[in-house]
Amino acid sequence: MAFKQLVFSGVQPTGNLHLGNYLGAIVKFVDLQRSHDCIYCVVDLHAITVWQDPVELKRNIREVTAAFIACGIDPKAHIVFNQSQVAEHAELAWVFNCVARLGWLNRMTQFKEKAGKDRENASVGLYAYPSLMAADILVYRATHVPVGEDQKQHLELSRDIAQKFNNDFGDSIRSHGFGDAFFPQPEPLIQGPATRVMSLRDGTKKMSKSDASDYSRINLTDDAEAIAQKIRKAKTDPEALPSEEKGLGSRPEADNLVGIDAALKATPKAAVLQEFGGGQFSTFKSALVELAVSKLGPIGAEMKRLVQDTAFIDSVLADGSARAQALAAETMKSVKDIVGFVRR
Ligand code: ATP
Ligand code: MG
């Protein structure tokens, strides 16, 4: 069966939105609007899998919404909303908790990283995170999911859940007139030179919201001065930049900065090396500062303006939630019929 093409993705309101979120995810969200119907979600139910201060959570939900709009997402032409306003996400996640296997979740590296050494003390929600993520996507029967490289494993799990649901309930799916498959196999869209932006302090660690050092990341709300300082202080090695991509192989920090430059310009890394190969890092860094400030400066300023207008942001989320819920409720009706629940 052919499924209607639909894009879904989400960002957690966990503070410190950074260049990795922008290049790995949000830039793709913006591009896909031209070719697809898109649903972009502020995934607040995911955020509370680790402790969130209630006052900050609210502020962060509005800030991610402001970032979506400031980066160029059109909440009228597409759908922008926060997850907790559409209860069907949690409802389908429960069904998926009963489809997914413990063995599958035990392999998830994000849980291992985030739970750390004190695994006994991690929330049950953090463990079950991937089945909620599968529900986020599949409650819309979405077919395409733009994400950073770190989410690849969770996307594979979403596909496994969709497939097991389709198999386990195969007879019921057919008898209810849905053909051979009720859920599509959602496809990850992980492309380009910045699918995994690394920390500016350590080229082997992902740039992350939770890194203790603010110098490890460029925040979307950083001003020109902060962006310049962070890039100038970014870790590098003493060699000049190579002219060919293979020369970046064992140089994670150089590779990362070249990848960032390429992604900001929307060109391949090879093109950046053609321009800067053989030259000193300082020359390259100065050019990168100028580029980053020109791209991110206006976004940060617009975000700061938009978050002030709480009424506007909340109305965007209310409107998006209503439209998302209309779609999700249809899917849940069918899921209930397929599973064998009695419903009104
Ligand atoms: P957290 O530490 O709270 O998980 P996060 O920075 O990983 O925060 P998420 O909200 O989990 O942010 O992810 C939002 C999107 O940004 C996802 O598609 C994710 O793959 C992408 N992303 C996150 N970090 C990076 C990165 N360093 N490089 C590229 N993409 C990233
Ligand atoms: Mg994450």
Chain segment 158-185, per-residue pLDDT in tens: 999 999 999 999 999 999 999 999 999 9
Cα 127 to ligand 2 centroid, rounded to whole Å: 14
Closest CA to 328 of 74, 8, 106, 29: 8
Residue 335 in tokens: 């899921």
**Amino acid letter for position 207:** M
User: Which residue owns the Cα nearest ligand 1 atom 11?
Assistant: 12
User: Which residues fall within 8 angstroms of residue 230, CB to CB, at 6 or more apart?
Assistant: 200, 214, 215, 217, 218, 222
Catalytic residue among 58, 152, 164, 209: 209
Instruction: Please say if 233 is a catalytic residue.
Output: no
Residue 158 has what DSSP assignment? H
Could you tell me if 41 and 83 are in contact, meaning their C-beta atoms sit under 8 angstroms apart? yes
**Angle at 201 (CA atoms; ends 195, 206), nearest 5 degrees:** 30
Contacts 24+ apart (CB under 8 A), 210-214: 210/14, 210/16
Give the per-residue pLDDT at 309.
Answer: 98
3-state secondary structure of 92: helix
pLDDT at 341 over 70: yes
Instruction: Please say if 58 is a catalytic residue.
Output: no
Is residue 146 within a helix (H) or strand (E), and if so which, with residue range?
A: strand 144-146
pLDDT at 151 over 80: yes
Mean pLDDT, residues 6-25 = 97
Residues in the chain: 344
Closest CA to 215 of 18, 47, 52, 50: 18
Instruction: Please say if 206 is a catalytic residue.
Output: yes
Mean pLDDT, residues 18-31 = 98
Phi and psi at 222, nearest 5°, equal -65, 140
Pocket around ligand 1 at a 6 A CB cut-off:
11-12, 14, 20-21, 24-25, 147-148, 150-151, 195-197, 206-210
Nearest ligand 1 atom, CA 194 = 29
Give the C-alpha separation, 169 to 173, whole Å: 6
Nearest ligand 1 atom, CA 151 = 20
DSSP for 247-306, written as a single string: GGTT-HHHHHHHHHHHHHHTS-HHHHHHHHTTS-HHHHHHHHHHHHHHHHHHHHHHHHHH
Kindly state the percentage of the chain with pLDDT values over 90.
98
pLDDT band (50, 70, 90) for residue 1: low
Give the mean pLDDT of the chain. Answer: 97
Give the per-residue pLDDT at 120.
Answer: 96
Residue 163 in tokens: 């497939």
Nearest ligand 1 atom, CA 12 = 10
Give the per-residue pLDDT at 252.
Answer: 96
* Dihedral over Cα of 185, 197, 226, 292: its sign: negative
Strand order from edge to edge, sheet including 144-146: 79-82, 38-42, 7-11, 144-146, 187-189
Cα 14 to ligand 2 centroid, rounded to whole Å: 9
pLDDT band (50, 70, 90) for residue 121: very high
Could you tell me if 39 and 142 are in contact, meaning their C-beta atoms sit under 8 angstroms apart? yes
Give tens-digit pLDDT for 218-251.
999 999 999 999 999 999 999 999 999 999 999 9
Mean pLDDT, residues 40-64 = 98
